[in-house]
Each structure stands twice: as structure tokens, then as C-alpha cells.
Amino acid sequence: MITFNVEKREKAGKGAARACRREGRIPAVVYGGKQEPVMISLNPVELEKALNDRDLYKTDVEIVLGGKKVVAMCKDVQFHPVSDKPIHVDFVRK
């Protein structure tokens, strides 16, 4: 199981996602499970390691937010068209 220690994002939208990237983090969202979506930001080093070491799409992901743990699956990773760096991640609760 892959574990991500995340921070909550307060605002949604393009401008907020860009601000998150300027801070050196990767915006993401956790949705599904008949709960409200939660906007989060990931540490880029943890995400790069997960993308390089394991098949992120087939492995359960444990998301730790403020002491709470959520088990999810990675639904989609969006990559920058030129640099091929991840720019956004979608997770679905199990």
C-alpha cells in the first residue's frame, strides 16, 4: 500500500491549483464513497516515487489528512504536455 501525507486545499479552481503548484505541491482531489469531495495537495517527491516504483493505478493508496486515513484508488494522473511532470491527481474512495 502506498501512503501519502497530504495537506488540505481551501480553494478550488484553476487559480488555486496554480497557486498550489507555485508552492511546490501537486493539487489533487479525493471523491466518491457518497461523501463530499476533498481537495488536497501532495508532496511531489512522494508522488514521483509512487509513479516510478509501483503501478499507482492498481495499488491501494492510503491518504493521511490531519490524522484521518482514507483508503482510495488512483483514478487519473494528469501530466504537463512538455515537461511530463504530474500536475493533478484524482483519487476515488474505496
Residue 32's pLDDT is 92
Domain ranges of the chain: 2-93
Q: Is 33 left (phi over 0), alpha (psi -120 to 50) or beta?
A: left
Q: Is the pLDDT of residue 83 over 90?
A: yes
Q: CA 36 to CA 85: how far, in whole Å?
A: 28
Residue 54's pLDDT is 72
Mean pLDDT (whole number) for 51-73: 89
In the chain, the percentage of residues whose pLDDT exceeds 70 is 100
User: pTM for the complete prediction?
Assistant: 0.90
Q: What is the pLDDT of residues 17-57, one digit of tens each?
A: 999 999 999 999 999 989 999 999 999 999 999 998 878 88
Into which CATH architecture does domain 2-93 fall?
A: Beta Barrel (2.40)
Residue 57's pLDDT is 87
pLDDT band, residue 12 (cuts 50/70/90): confident
